[in-house]
Amino acid sequence: MTGSRRIAVLISGRGSNLQALIDATAEGRLDAEIALVISNRADAQGLARAREAGIETLTVLVHELQSRSVSLVCLAGFMRLLGATFLDAFPNAILNVHPSLLPAFPGMDAQRQAWEYGTRIAGATVHFVTGELDGGPIVRQAAVPVLDTDSPETLAARILEQEHRIYPEAVAAVLAGGWSLEGRRFRPAGRTRHR
């Protein structure tokens, strides 16, 4: 990663996590500049949110990102696995938000998977993207209790609130620099290990 604070957000649909990042930058909770929003679908609702915020939009990738000096790529509901070319172009510089406490329930429909399994605690995870599906080092997590009255939809809505909270926090932690990865463990700047 370079020292710039320019980020790109990749979407495929609704774009509510994109909106959380836009709002956090607008309100000063996240010191970053959203340089562009990219969708692999031209009909993604999130593209309208980006245009509304005056952010450049594109429907395609690596060259477009590099030519705009993007240092961190944020997947936000992006529904396509990234290939080796893309991953190699942005080593430890791609984040994703996933609606479960990874490593539990990777893949599609994670909130429903957790509800059907009968887990009492669900949650959300922001992690680095690697070649393994939902498998990279974890930057932030939030736990969400599963209520007896929950349906998969009500649970997903509470998880989404936590996604919107922890994603901007995680982006800020990564952009702050000074962090390291010890194996799979993300160590923010200034944290030393207790022995």
Q: Which of 10, 15, 39, 171 binds ligand GRF (CB under 6 A)?
A: 15
Q: 15 near 44, Cβ under 8 Å?
A: yes
Give the contact letters, 79-98, x = binds to ligand GRF (CB under 6 A), - = no. ------------------xx
Q: Which of 5, 6, 14, 41 binds ligand GRF (CB under 6 A)?
A: 14
Q: Which positions ≥6 away from 94 have C-beta within 8 Å? A: 72, 73, 74, 75, 82, 86, 87, 128, 129
What single letter denotes the amino acid at residue 96? N
Q: Least distance (Å) from ligand GRF to the CB of residue 149?
A: 21
13 binds ligand GRF (CB under 6 A): yes
Q: Which residues are identified as catalytic?
A: 98
Interface segment toward ligand GRF; rule CB under 6 A; list 13-21, 53-61, 135-143, 184-192: 13-21
Q: Which positions ≥6 away from 119 have C-beta within 8 Å? A: 104, 146
Q: Least distance (Å) from ligand GRF to the CB of residue 107?
A: 10
Q: Least distance (Å) from ligand GRF to the CB of residue 153?
A: 12
139 binds ligand GRF (CB under 6 A): no
Residues 49, 67: Cα–Cα separation, whole Å = 23
Choose between 107 and 177: whose C-beta lies nearer to ligand GRF.
107
Pairing of strands 121-128, 72-75: unpaired
Q: DSSP letters of 108-134?
A: TTHHHHHHHHT-SEEEEEEEE--SSTT
Q: Which of residues 157-186 bind ligand GRF (CB under 6 A)?
A: 160, 163
Question: Hey, is 57 helix, strand or coil?
Answer: strand
Tell me the residue nearest to ligand GRF as measured from the CB.
77
Phi, psi values for residue 115, rounded to 5°: -65, -45
Residue numbers at the binding site for ligand GRF (CB under 6 A): 11, 13-18, 46, 76-77, 97-99, 160, 163
